[in-house]
Amino acid sequence: MTDSQQRHQIGRMRFDTRRRSLTVASTIRLTPKMLRIVLTSPELADFDSRGADDHIKLFFPRPGGEPLMRDYTPRAFSQADRTLTLDFALHDAGPATAWALGAKVGDTLEIGGPRGSMIVPDDFDWYLLVADETGLPAIGRRLEELRAGVPVITVVAIDTAAEKQAIETKARWTAHWITRDQAGPNDAETLRHALEGLTLPPGDGYVWIAAEAAVAKALRGYVIDTLKHPAQWMRASGYWLRGEAGAHENL
Ligand SMILES: Cc1cc2nc3c(=O)[nH]c(=O)nc-3n(C[C@H](O)[C@H](O)[C@H](O)COP(=O)(O)OP(=O)(O)OC[C@H]3O[C@@H](n4cnc5c(N)ncnc54)[C@H](O)[C@@H]3O)c2cc1C
């Protein structure tokens, strides 16, 4: 094993999954299309989530059927305060979006997981994080967790400049916001174009991609085939599939 491979060991942890019933403590519009909901419950006393891109299942009951499940990122949590924060990227329709839009203080939400965490070590020389709005919660969490001074480049597709988020980080963060109203609606094309324009820092990097499945797949291809980035130092996921409800794809 080379020094680099020894240095950048990506770890996995497993947790016992259990369902928890949480109560809405607050809702805030972070931006016009991003709704932050803070949930609370004594059942969060033993909640654990160690990876910035962990996910939990949200359960939405259906009369006469199994509940519908949707995946969301624990954007933040505090065991001491028994709170869990979720950020919902609002889109046209879907049970998760409808629930978030209607959520009021005191409402309940059933969650499951996370089943496990993927721990990306904070020892890469740089990080490149690429996403649409659905990956922004995981990017926010990673920015907050990364060590002081490490170069991190984010490339995020959003509808308009009003969707930009201010995120606190000690890392050396360079943000590229790709706004669809200016750059056009084709995220695969505009995000790739933005990647082509980057000069990546020297050394070993970790690349993380999360977006609509076809977009994530196209960007993964570019990073592996054109940038020749080592596949073991990247993760690309389809966080949703256009035209299909409740779908995702690990690439
Ligand atoms: C690991 C993981 C973590 C995730 N974390 C988050 C998170 O923290 N915050 C977040 O907002 N999302 C997150 N997502 C994405 C989220 O799970 C999907 O967007 C989900 O489909 C939304 O559920 P829904 O009930 O609103 O819509 P669905 O019922 O699933 O879909 C209804 C319709 O809307 C379309 N659709 C779904 N999502 C979008 C979208 N974002 N934009 C436009 N059209 C869409 C579908 O193609 C379908 O046609 C995550 C996904 C994964 C796999």
Please state which CATH number belongs to domain 12-117: 2.40.30.10
Q: Does residue 67 have a cis peptide bond before it, meaning omega lies within 30 degrees of 0? A: no
Q: Is the CB of 80 under 6 A from ligand 1?
A: no
H or E element, residue 208: strand 205-212
Does residue 7 have its Cβ closer than 6 Å to ligand 1?
no
Q: Is the CB of 112 under 6 A from ligand 1?
A: no
What average pLDDT does range 79-95 have in this prediction?
A: 96
Q: Which residue's CA lies nearest to atom 27 of ligand 1? A: 94
Residue 204 confidence (pLDDT): 96
Going by alpha carbons, the residue nearest to atom 33 of ligand 1 is 245
Query: The whole model's pTM is what?
Result: 0.96
Those residues whose C-beta lies under 8 Å from the C-beta of residue 58, and which sit 6 or more positions away, are 69, 70, 71, 72, 86, 96, 99, 109, 110, 111
| Ligand 1, pocket-test mutation among 56, 111, 240, 251, most atoms within 8 A of CB | 240
The H-assigned helical ranges of the chain are 3-7, 95-102, 136-145, 180-183, 187-196, 213-221
The backbone region for 57, taken as left when phi is positive above 0, alpha when psi lies in -120 to 50, beta otherwise, is: beta
Lowest-confidence pick of 104-108, 116-120, 203-207: 116-120
CB 91 near ligand 1, within 6 Å: yes
Give the Å distance between the CA of 6 and the centre of ligand 1. Answer: 36
pLDDT digits (tens, 9 = 90+) for 129-173: 999 999 999 999 999 999 999 999 999 999 999 999 999 999 999
Give the residue, by CA position, lying nearest to ligand 1 atom 7.
72
Only one residue has tokens 């809702």, namely: 27
Task: Answer whether residue 5 shows pLDDT above 80.
Answer: no
The pLDDT, as a whole number, for residue 246 is 85
**DSSP for residue 194:** H
CATH number for the region 122-250 comes to 3.40.50.80
Q: How far is the CA of 40 from the centre of ligand 1 (A)?
A: 23
Q: How far is the CA of 201 from the centre of ligand 1 (A)?
A: 32
At residue 247, the pLDDT reads: 84
* pLDDT mean across residues, the chain: 95
* Beta carbons within 10 angstroms of residue 185's beta carbon: 10
Domain assignments of the chain as residue spans, ordered by start: 12-117, 122-250
Is the CB of residue 197 below 6 angstroms from any atom belonging to ligand 1? no
Using 50, 70 and 90 to split pLDDT, how confident is the model at 123?
Answer: very high
Residue located nearest, by CA, to atom 45 of ligand 1: 91
Per the model's pLDDT, the better-predicted residue between 7 and 189 turns out to be: 189
Can 12-117 and 122-250 be said to share one CATH topology?
Answer: no
